[in-house]
Structure 1
Amino acid sequence: MTEDQDALDLAADWADISQGLKKDLGPQLHTQWIKPIQLGSFCKETGTLDLFLPTEFSANWVADRFADRLSLAWKIARAEVRQVRITAHPRRRSMPELRVGGASGAGAGTVINLAAVRDAAGSDAASRSAPAPAERKAVAPVAGFDPAASGIDPSLTFNDFVPGSANVLALNAAQRMAALETPQFAPLYLKGSTGQGKTHLLHAIANAFVANRPGARIFYCSAERFMIEFVQAMRQNEMIEFKARLRSFDMLLVDDIQFIIGKASTQEEFLHTIDALLSAGKRLVVAADRAPQALDGVEQRLLSRLSMGLVADIQAADIELRRQILEHRLSRFTSSQVPQDVVEFLARTINRNVRELVGGLNKLIAFAQLTGQQVSLQLAEEQLTDILSANRRRITIDEIQRTVCQFYRVDRTEMASKRRARAIVRPRQVAMYLAKVLTPRSYPEIGRKFGGRDHSTVIHAVRLIEQLRTRDADMDGDVRTLLRQLED
């Protein structure tokens, strides 16, 4: 009874530790490396706790990177734990088995004894050959696709991807790659700068592909992870397993391929993987922040394979697409009221990439909800200072005054004059409003640039133009035109 209680206590402690590591490492790393850990025995005399993983490869990977973190977590949870030992499960040490299941048929798979494969041959061809009939045995149907275990985010779908002129080619190509019909191009190479939607499309392809082909096997990884697993497999003399595992997937998706540059042995293996997948009619999608021809240090054969399919460019989102992305995102926050002038402000100001745009909106809404404040232009400026300053083009108040005067056909000196004629006051107020929206200047600083006016005058002008834009279509049209002129 005591042993059973000890086991339950250990399991409870591990559940708490695992949850803490999930928060620290993120769901993807946790699912890939921490979740498969099984509790072993605990020796009270030596204070040693055994943690098991399915293979030598995964055990060594976790031991190299997370041993200290796991040991500290256990010592905090249980003072009697003095040492954590991470090894492959005893029943799996002889030779791991790899389950290979296709997308067709009833979903039944085959278990390949990799020790037999290694004994049979030492070449790449051997790793892809079928085992002898005597080595085959029946297995349960391959389990359904688990997005978390595959590193795929189920929330990143085509339905959640906002289309526009900047990404229409990449989106259409991605949808073709996920369809039942064999795509006309292979591989698909998604090219775009940071935060423009490459990773979203990779996850959307995976989700749609499995929806169309239940039971399909998909592997998603970064180029960095590919290199790490490759090096570990070489060190542990498990290259046959590594190659067989990669070639067993129906679709391979590799993100940030630019980080594979300069690694000759990794490039060689990636080249063979591409050839094996494509020759078997399987699908390959890669993403990078630059075109294949701009990848420095990539050997010509690999460069040729990456370029042989379709290179789909994702351009920076234009102002209209940024507006649509914000509106789409806001549809999720039914209880949050975000004024249109704030949406316009964010769309125009945060223009470097979509990830920063959505992150800025999320931060603003979260702050408003947690503090009970109303979302406003002033709140956006106060809470998003870092993001806004990084995105703003350095538009000056002088440039704003000059543009407004040309638009309304008034003399530049009127911006600082004391005249209160409506034909002069309204352009001056518009210029003050634009100065606040497009520059980081404070209200007093803006007032000084308009003939030494008090900050309260500037605040009044900004609020007035904000109100006029909501009820006067002509005023809103004037401001939009001026914003385009100043930001182009």
Structure 2
Amino acid sequence: MAITVTEGAARHDEVAKAWGIVRSHLRESAGARLFDQWLKPIELVQGADCDTVRLALPSAFMTNWVRNHYADRLVQEFRAILPDVRSVAIETRSATAKPAVLAAEPLVVAGAAASVEASARPQLDPRFTFDRFVVDQSNLVAFNAARALAEPGTPRFSPLFIHSGTGQGKTHLMHAIGAAYLEACPDANVIMMSAERFMFEFVQAVRARAQRQNDRDTHAFKARLRAADLLMIDDVQFIAGKDSTQEEFFHTVSEVMAAGKRLVISADRCPQGLDGIETRITSRLSVGLVADIKAPDLGLRRAVLTRKLADLPDAKVPGEVLDLLAARITANIRDLEGSLNRLIAYAQLTGEAIDMDFAVATLGDVLRGAQRRVTIDEIQRAVSAHFELKPIDLVSARRAVVVARPRQIAMYLAKRLTTRSLPEIGRKFGGRDHSTVIHAVRRIEELRDKDREIDGAVRTLLRELEG
């Protein structure tokens, strides 16, 4: 929508006043420490789009953190003051001088009206491409299926149904499909939306039809989606129990498939496991290819961190810290990447170097919450079995290297995998002093860097102890 200079200035003043109110609300709810570290640096950016509020932060790390933790809250706060706001774009300040290449991630407000032209331009995250997706056996089928569906020509299958737990990469693959398909077919009509957005736009169209007493709005909604060459709908489980929405969803899916178009659906479980979704819908979604993404194992988690760090050349994170994050944060990839972002951001804010102590101090709550409760007894049994010793050998006074080195490894693992203090660990190893534990930990850290056999043994034990 074109606006005059005067209208633009007035709009910016209006948004600026709203931003002042939003900031005060955030300060009250977040507390002084969190607000000062993450939210206070946010600046309002003047833009020509009346429907979008643009906010900027000084670094990519802070931008990612605010997106992950406050995106929905910011949208809600602005909408409460300015109901016509459709989205909030959270940007990195260094990029704001070049609007054409901003790495913004607009957050579409549920129920907001969208024109056909705007919806035809999918809001794809430039970070989520195929070459940035770390692949292993847990996600290989879904990855290959996604790449196949993005190829030009007649699709080999449709729909593609991707399911996994939260934060495992479903949305990443959907963005990657959209980006690759548009690269191959620049004029294609690609639409990506969440199931919630589908529901709210449909309900809005129905309400508008009732108010205006004509079918123009519902026809426009239906025509826009069914004209898509590639239609992607994320988190379909959210339409469970919504009868009228499911009716429209069924007809949309049916027409897209009948026309030979590409359809991608994601959910948190397989089609047959979608409670509250009509059988005719789950049956229709199962006729293409159903691919699951399993929970990431330790190797994949570590590879994801390595890939993430490669994009941040100025960030210095020791390998042992990456090992710690990969070992402790096992729930999903999103939490893993978020923890790395938090660690780097804190280091930038404080000026401290990242090491094991800094990581534990910064992410202690996350690490403790994610950690499986490994005991020192379990560690001693595992180490003894690995090195073919008796558990009593590890607590004995024997100093032969065949016993002393496994004992040091057991102490190292106890320090890394448990919350026991150094004196407590020493007592569990035959009443040894805490300084002996410190020496053991440092010695194993040194050996892991230059002795492949020791490093391999530690990695094997870590995998075993963390299940």
TM-score, scaled relative to structure 1: 0.72
| Structure 1 residue 7 displacement after superposition | 4.7
Matches within 5 A, 1:270-289: 270-289=249-268
- The separation in 2 between residues aligned to 1:245 and 1:477, in whole angstroms, is 56
Q: Distance in 1 between matches of 2:441 and 2:22?
A: 46
Q: Is 1:10 the counterpart of 2:19 in the alignment?
A: no
Separation of aligned partners in 1, 2:79 and 2:391: 68
Give the Cα–Cα distance (whole angstroms) in 1 for the partners of residues 309 and 225 of structure 2: 40
2:366 to 370, 387, 392: 387
- Shift in alpha-carbon separation, 1:394–1:276, aligned structure 2, 3 A: same
1:383 Cα offset (Å) = 1.6
SS in 1 for 2:306: helix
Counterparts of 1:281-300 in structure 2, within 5 Å, are 281-300=260-279
Residue number in structure 2 paired with 1:233: 205
Asked whether 1:157 is paired with 2:136, we answer no
Q: Tell me which residue corresponds to 2:427.
A: 448
Q: 1:325 and 2:304 equivalent?
A: yes
1:220 aligns with 2:232: no
Deviates more, 1:412-421 or 1:255-264: 412-421
Q: Give the partner amino acid of 2:203.
A: V
Task: Decide whether the 8 Å contact of 2:382 with 2:461 is kept in 1.
Answer: yes
SS in 1 for 2:292: strand
SS of alignment partner, residue 357 of structure 1: helix
Partner of 1:306: 285
Q: Distance in 1 between matches of 2:443 and 2:346?
A: 26
Q: SS state of the match for residue 220, structure 1? A: strand
The equivalent residue for 1:409 is: 388
Residues 39-118 of structure 1 correspond to what in structure 2 (within 5 A)? 68-70=80-82
Q: 1:97 to 1:334 in 2, by over 3 A?
A: closer
Change (3 A) 1:217 1:18: farther
**Could you say which residue in structure 2 is the equivalent of 1:170?**
142
Distance 1:18 1:266 in 2: 34
For 2:356, the equivalent position in structure 1 comes to: 377
Residues 144 and 215 of structure 1 are in contact (CA less than 8 Å); yes or no, is this contact kept in structure 2?
no
Q: Residue 325 of structure 2 aligns with which residue?
A: 346
Letter in 1 for 2:258: S
What are the Cα deviations for residues 157-196 of structure 1, in whole angstroms up to 9, with x where unaligned? 1111111111111111111111112212111100111111
Mapped partners of 1:326, 1:97: distance in 2: 37
**Matched position secondary structure for 2:132:** coil
CA 1:422–1:98: 2 relative to 1, 3 Å: closer
Once the 2 structures are TM-superposed, how far is the Cα of residue 453 of structure 1 from its aligned partner?
3.0
Contact residue 18 and residue 35 of structure 1 kept, 8 A: no
How many equivalent residue pairs?
Answer: 388
Report the more deviating stretch, 260-269 or 377-386: 377-386
Tell me how far 1:18 sits from its aligned partner: 8.4
Return the alpha-carbon distance in structure 1 between the equivalents of residues 51 and 133 of structure 2.
35
Q: Does 2:295 correspond to 1:316?
A: yes
The answer for the alignment partner of 1:199 in structure 2 is: 171
CA distance in 2, matches of 1:444, 1:12: 60
Segments of 5+ residues of structure 1 without an aligned counterpart are: 39-62, 74-95, 101-142
8 Å contact from structure 2 (residues 158, 262) kept in 1: yes
Partners of 1:311 and 1:437 lie apart in 2 by: 39
SS in 1 for 2:130: coil
SS at match of 1:281: coil
Identity of aligned residues (%): 49
Q: Which residue of 1 aligns with 2:246?
A: 267
Partner of residue 485, structure 1: 464
Q: Structure 2: how far apart are the matches of 1:457 and 1:445?
A: 12
Q: Secondary structure at the match of 1:159?
A: helix
Judge which range, 381-390 or 286-295, deviates more.
381-390
Are the structure 2 counterparts of residues 6 and 185 from structure 1 closer, same or farther at C-alpha, using a change threshold of 3 Å?
closer
- Is the CA contact 2:18–2:78 (under 8 Å) kept in the aligned structure 1? no
Does structure 2 retain, via aligned residues, the 8 Å contact 1:219–1:251? yes
Residues 151 and 221, structure 1, Cα contact 8 Å, conserved in 2: no
Rounded Cα–Cα distance in structure 1 between residues aligned with 2:355 and 2:240: 46
CA distance in 2, matches of 1:22, 1:217: 36
Q: From the superposition, tell whether residues 370 and 424 of structure 1 become closer, same or farther in structure 2 (CA, over 3 Å).
A: same
Secondary structure of 2:307's aligned partner:
helix
Give 5+ residue unaligned stretches, structure 2: 27-38, 53-74, 86-112, 210-216
Say whether the 8 Å CA contact 1:145–1:214 is kept in structure 2: no
Corresponding residue to 1:396 among 368, 375, 387: 375
1:236 alignment partner, SS class: helix
Larger Rg belongs to: 1
Match of 2:338 among 354, 359, 380: 359
Correspondence for 2:444 among 442, 465, 478: 465
What is the TM-score when the length of structure 2 is the normalising length? 0.75
CA RMSD across the alignment: 3.3
